[in-house]
Amino acid sequence: MTDAAPAVATELPPPRPTHTTRRVNALAARLGARRYLEIGVQKGHTFRTVTIEQRVGVDPRFQFDTAAVANETTTLHAMTSDRFFAEAAGTRPFDIVFIDGLHVFEQVVRDLTNAVAWTGWDSAILIDDTIPIDVYSALPVQRDAIRMRQQAGGRGGQWHGDVFKIAFLIHDFFPFLDYRTIDGTDNPQTLCWRAQGPARTPVFNSLERISRLTWFDLQAHGEIMRKASEQDAIDLCAAAIGARR
């Protein structure tokens, strides 16, 4: 007879609420949101601290035990966002979508397009990492960003990818979305919501040109980001949605 094996700790480490948690929960309170989708969940620091009633998370490589978190109102899909929308998203719309998956423009275009299809007039969409910190951070391939910064004598592993182009795409080609880029506190993120308003005059009016924008173009056309404080962006979004109800 042998002694019983010591119990293996299966407890999930507690998540740390993030600045996104703060923004999403504030928005949810203002909008009365009941269904939340997060694309790109990783360790779940945001996902697990969002207090919306029904939560859906998508990530091909979750970095936590999803079985310990899933329940009747919280579902987790270990797959890419493309596959999720093709096979698992169902038909019920979401009130808030947080896009934080693959930080490459073409993928963010697909994620935003799908998010628009799976949301309604009372919904908000938040896109992560929309202002890169330097020219290297804006490169579409992460290892290139870090290597080239080092080659130029810089340090640090910051990488935002070329997600910033999505603001230019929204500005020129999604006239039914209003948006503000939250800047000043924590990581910049672009908040979008459906809006009927005066048509914007396209700046580039070329999908090809937008797909090739660089960090320098962003510096030259920074007004396209429509920067706002976190509070102002949330207030504007909530007011626009509230006015329609």
Ligand X SMILES: C[S@@+](CC[C@H](N)C(=O)[O-])C[C@H]1O[C@@H](n2cnc3c(N)ncnc32)[C@H](O)[C@@H]1O
Provide the binding-site residues for ligand X, judged by CB under 6 A.
Answer: 18, 20, 38-42, 45-46, 58-61, 80-81, 100-102, 107
Q: Which is nearer to ligand X, 112 or 241 (CB)?
A: 112
**Residue 109: CB minimum distance to ligand X, A:** 13
Closest contact distance (angstroms) between CB of 64 and ligand X is 10
* Residue owning tokens 């919904």: 123
Q: Compute the distance between CA of residue 187 and CA of residue 24 in angstroms, rounded to an integer.
A: 13
* Shortest CB 140 distance to ligand X, Å: 13
* Cα–Cα distance measured from residue 161 to residue 168, given in angstroms and rounded to the nearest whole number: 15
Report residue 35 as tokens.
């269904």
Quote the least distance from Cβ 240 to ligand X, whole Å: 25
Least gap, CB of 7 to ligand X (angstroms): 29
β-strand 35-39 against 54-58: which pairing, if any?
A: parallel
Q: Rounded distance, CA 110 to CA 113, Å?
A: 5
Nearer to ligand X, 59 or 172 (CB): 59
Residue nearest to ligand X as judged by C-beta position: 40
Residue pair 78/96 in contact by the 8 Å Cβ criterion? no
Minimum CB distance to ligand X, residue 79 (Å): 8
Residues 6+ apart with CB under 8 A from 36: 24, 28, 50, 52, 54, 55, 56, 94, 95, 96, 97, 98
Q: Which is nearer to ligand X, 60 or 175 (CB)?
A: 60
DSSP state of 6: P
Whichever of 128 and 172 has its CB closer to ligand X, that residue is 128
Nearer to ligand X, 36 or 179 (CB): 36
Which one, 40 or 132, has the nearer CB to ligand X? 40
Gyration radius (Cα) of the chain, Å: 19
